[in-house]
């Protein structure tokens, strides 16, 4: 899935989380499918990031892996943006109906993404140490995504926005 689609889906979820009242205490998303897709993505990202780590540790004059690395890291960062909003939506739904159906899945999927994020940030930091232009652009993208994510999380009640935001004060 193209990274920009994650941003659009997250924006739709955030704006519609308040304006569309939930009628029944059912799952917000198909949790089994959400869980499985997220696990598959994490497995794919882990393998890919391991491969890139090897490429970066054994550089070749004729090979620059940063174009491919950038694509994967962009996907990880944008996917996390979506998952944070989706997790907030799941928690909001459960709190509205005093149930515990959506929130555990939303939080677990976010943990998968945080694992991938840590690996991606390690690679970005390696690139920043040597002023790699792609790493600088990825770091700027990360900063913008964090600010926009916090802005969208401000549409949720304070305890939820604080739990899922990068900087809770920014949500207020």
Q: What is the pLDDT of residues 17-45, one digit of tens each?
A: 554 445 455 555 667 787 888 889 899 99
Spell out the long-range contacts of 30-35 with Cβ–Cβ below 8 A and sequence spacing 24 or more: 31/101, 31/102, 31/105, 34/86, 34/105, 34/109, 35/105, 35/108, 35/109
- 115, 42 Cβ separation under 8 angstroms: yes
> Is 129 a member of any domain?
yes
Rounded Cα distance between 133 and 114, Å, is 24
Q: What is the pLDDT of residue 37?
A: 84
Q: How far is residue 24 from each of residues 59, 96, 121, measured CA to CA in Å?
A: 55, 10, 39
Token pair of 25 as six digits: 């205490």
Q: What's the pLDDT score for residue 20?
A: 45
Counting the structural domains of the chain, the total is 1
Instruction: Evaluate whether residue 18 is within a structural domain.
Output: no
Residue 25 in any domain: the answer is no
Kindly indicate the confidence band of residue 48, based on its pLDDT and cuts at 50, 70 and 90: very high
128-63-126 Cα angle (round to 5)? 15
User: What 8-state DSSP symbol labels residue 63?
Assistant: B
pLDDT score for 25: 55
- pTM of the full predicted structure? 0.84
pLDDT digit string (tens) for 55-101?
887 767 677 889 889 999 999 999 898 899 989 988 988 898 898 88
Q: CB-hemisphere CA count at 13 Å for 56?
A: 22
Whose structure tokens read 């989706």?
86
pLDDT at 102: 85
With respect to residue 69, please indicate whether it lies within any of the assigned structural domains. Answer: yes
Kindly provide the residue ranges of all beta strands, DSSP E only, lying in the chain, ordered along the sequence: none
**Token pair listed for 148:** 């926009």
In a domain, 17, yes or no: no
What domain range includes position 127? 30-55+64-171
Cβ-proximal residues to 153 (8 Å cutoff; 6+ apart), any chain: 14, 84, 85, 88, 160, 161, 164, 165, 171
Enter the tokens of residue 124: 């970005």
Q: What does the mean pLDDT of the chain come to?
A: 84
Q: Is the pLDDT of residue 111 over 90?
A: yes
């Amino acid at each position: 899935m193209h990274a920009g689609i994650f941003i659009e889906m997250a924006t739709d979820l955030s704006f519609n989380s308040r304006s569309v009242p939930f009628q029944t205490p059912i799952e917000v998303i198909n949790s089994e499918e959400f869980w499985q897709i997220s696990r598959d993505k994490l497995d794919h990202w882990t393998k890919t990031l391991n491969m890139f780590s090897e490429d970066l540790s054994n550089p070749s004059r004729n090979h620059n892996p940063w174009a491919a690395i950038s694509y994967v890291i962009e996907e990880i960062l944008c996917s996390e943006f979506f998952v944070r909003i989706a997790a907030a939506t799941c928690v909001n739904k459960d709190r509205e109906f005093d149930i515990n159906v959506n929130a555990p899945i939303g939080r677990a999927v976010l943990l998968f993404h945080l694992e991938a994020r840590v690996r991606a940030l390690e690679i970005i930091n390696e690139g920043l140490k040597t002023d790699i232009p792609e790493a600088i652009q990825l770091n700027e993208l990360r900063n913008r995504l964090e600010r926009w994510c916090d802005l969208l999380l401000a549409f949720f009640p304070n305890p939820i926005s604080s739990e899922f935001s990068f900087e809770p004060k920014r949500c207020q």
